Amino acid sequence: MRKIFRSALPFVLLLCGVAWVSFGQTDSLSQYNDSINNANLLEYNKRLAEVEKERVADSLKKAELEAQLLELKTTDNLQKKDLINQLETIKENDKKRLADKIAQIDSLRNTEIGYPVLGFKKDTLFLIHTKMGAASPMERALSITRKINLLYEDDFLISDSIHISKAEDTYDIIYKDLIITSISENDALWYGKSKDELAESFQQIIKTAIVEAKDDNSWLKLLSRIGLVAFVILVAWIFIGLIGKGYAKLVLNFDTNKEHWLKELSYKDYTFLTVDQETQILFFLIKVLRWFVYFLLLYITLPIIFSIFPFSRDWANALFYLVWAPFKGLLVSIWLYLPELFKILVIYYVMKYVIKFVKYIFQEIEAEKLVLSDFHSDWAMPTFSIVQFLLYAFMFILIFPHLPGSDSNIFKGVSVFVGVLFSLGSSSAIANMVAGLVITYMRPFKIGDRIKIDNVTGDIIEKTLLVTRVRTIKNEVITIPNSSVLTENTTNYSIEAKDKGLIVHTTVTIGYDVPWPKVHKVLIEAATRTDMIMDEPKPYVLQTSLEDFYVAYQINAYTREASKQALIYSSLHQNIQDVCNESDIEILSPHYRAARDGNMTTIPADYLPEDYKVPHFNVRVNKGKDEPLK
């Protein structure tokens, strides 16, 4: 229990410190507001002083005119009428000045709060707005507060002896020889009452505040409050102990029954969380919950304790609002933001269903149910991606002004900074994206096509906005940036293979001693023996060149299997060798450089007859013109 209380003690000190800081900030704010309030009231009181000078001058003149009126004889009617007119003018001026005062007070009533007169408990009894004589409103409020404290400290005070006395222009609240405060016409105008009504109200407030303060600070009251504080601390102590025991019991139960309560979190062969890991996470959450409950208990207990004593009741309010004020401000902000949030939701859902409709149109085009002239079906989904991006961008533009803080300089600065970073760091990426869009509408290939880009030959396995991936015949996956694809020549072997067939071709060089029709026949025969070669159109031979030692023959054949060219070429070359050997045709190119018996055939022994013999050299020598020699 002691450990728990000691661990909770820092929270108490922390909350007290935060409350002290809050009071300091509040005092600073109050001083700032007081300076503004003092400036406005000072300006008002200057104007009021000028009006008061005029009123005093008119009052003296009025007294003088009234005295002259009494001295007149009954026969002086003209002079009497003139004096009466002057008195009426002074009366009208008084009414006008009074109306001007009321107008000025009304203009300040909603913005200026005045200076508080404080009781012994530091609570505001009433406010002072106007000066009196040389005393400013703030000086008057401080003076009245000091006199009230003097009365509170008087052990022999009789509250009923606080009475009201009418002076020439004011009503005074007096206790014995001490004038607590005086109520002027200007004070009454601020409260919208007559001077005597306001004096009675202030008198009652002062008497009540003094009596209640004396009652609150009696020894009996103090002892009862101390006892109440002890009771609150005892209850908090008991709750802390119960929380600690409950935490220990809960941890023990979890540790004992974790195999029954918990199961491994896994998907197929991968385990995300084991039982021990889940147990550690739950223990951590329980520990966080325990400390949150401790904090909540202390947060409730401290304001209760502070509210028991009169001098610390302001602390309780400040401590409560220290946490509640941000939540209240958040809730108020959310409530005020609801109309903008509703607009954002309307924009989002309208755009969402617009995008669904656009997607349906493009899906119909992709399925070739909806045919548009000069618009290929394989353009449908890439075009939809572009339109979707533009619609989302348009939606963001519509939503942006409704976002909280969108018009703040910080938000604008961050937006510009992110834009600059994006533009500087993504130039190559943007080039690849633009190239990807261009490639989409160029339609040079599609997934599965056998292509050749620069020196890379293989099948297309992936097309993205940034790169194209090709799998070679050796199962090598090569990633090519779209900008490189766009700048290089692309050869597509598959685009015509299914319909017209792809022509595979290879060149063989045969000596001039072999008739070309025989070579044509042999090569066509080799092509017809090759798997995956089409019967129609038929293979054909082209004589591509007549070299120094041989003739170049090119065999051309059609196939629909563009992705199996390596196998087709290998089989075709094998068949060319076999058919040439069967037809007694030597393939003597490239040139032989090894010395051998020129009479020995180059046909493999498997194709030669068993009684084959290498022919002899035959040489003829001409001795004379008429008789040949052997």
pLDDT at 279 over 90: no
What's the mean pLDDT in 564-575?
Answer: 92
Could you tell me what percent of the chain has a pLDDT over 70?
A: 75
Q: Which two tokens stand for residue 131?
A: 């000066």
Contacts (Cβ under 8 Å, ≥6 apart) of 452: 490, 491, 493
What's the mean pLDDT in 480-485?
Answer: 87
Q: Which two tokens stand for residue 212?
A: 């209640």
Mean pLDDT in the chain? 78
pLDDT of residue 352: 92
Give the containing element (helix H, strand E) for 31. Answer: helix 2-71
Q: Which residues of 415-428 are buried (b: 16+ CB within 10 A; e: fewer)?
A: eeeeeeeeeeeeee
pLDDT at 249 over 70: yes
pLDDT in tens, 82-111: 666 767 777 777 667 766 666 667 666 666
Whole-number Å distance between alpha carbons of 235 and 246: 16
Greatest CA separation for the chain:
197
Q: What does CATH list as the number for 502-593+601-607?
A: 3.30.70.100
- Read off φ and ψ for residue 567, nearest 5 degrees: -65, -40
Contacts (Cβ under 8 Å, ≥6 apart) of 210: 119, 120, 148, 151, 152, 157, 159
Among 66-70, 123-127, 514-518, the minimum mean pLDDT is found in 66-70
CB atoms closer than 10 angstroms to residue 245: 12
CB–CB of 474/459 below 8 Å? Answer: no
pLDDT of residue 75: 56
CA distances, 548 to each of 511, 513, 586, 614 (Å): 10, 13, 17, 28
Among 268-282, 378-392, 573-587, the minimum mean pLDDT is found in 268-282
Q: Which residues of 575-599 are buried (b: 16+ CB within 10 A; e: fewer)?
A: bbebbbbebebebebeeeeeeeeee
Q: What does CATH list as the number for 430-492?
A: 2.30.30.60
Among 132-136, 407-411, 538-542, 612-616, the minimum mean pLDDT is found in 407-411
CA distances, 292 to each of 8, 245, 283, 505 (Å): 11, 16, 14, 81
Q: How confident is the model at residue 273 (pLDDT cuts 50, 70, 90)?
A: confident
What's the mean pLDDT in 260-276?
Answer: 77
Give CA torsion, residues 219, 221, 225, 228, to 10 deg. 120
pTM > 0.85: no
pLDDT of residue 263: 79
Whole-number Å distance between alpha carbons of 493 and 559: 11
Whole-number Å distance between alpha carbons of 150 and 162: 13
Whole-number Å distance between alpha carbons of 622 and 628: 5
Q: Of 115 and 89, which is predicted with more confidence? A: 115
pLDDT in tens, 181-219: 898 877 887 788 888 888 889 889 888 888 877 776 667
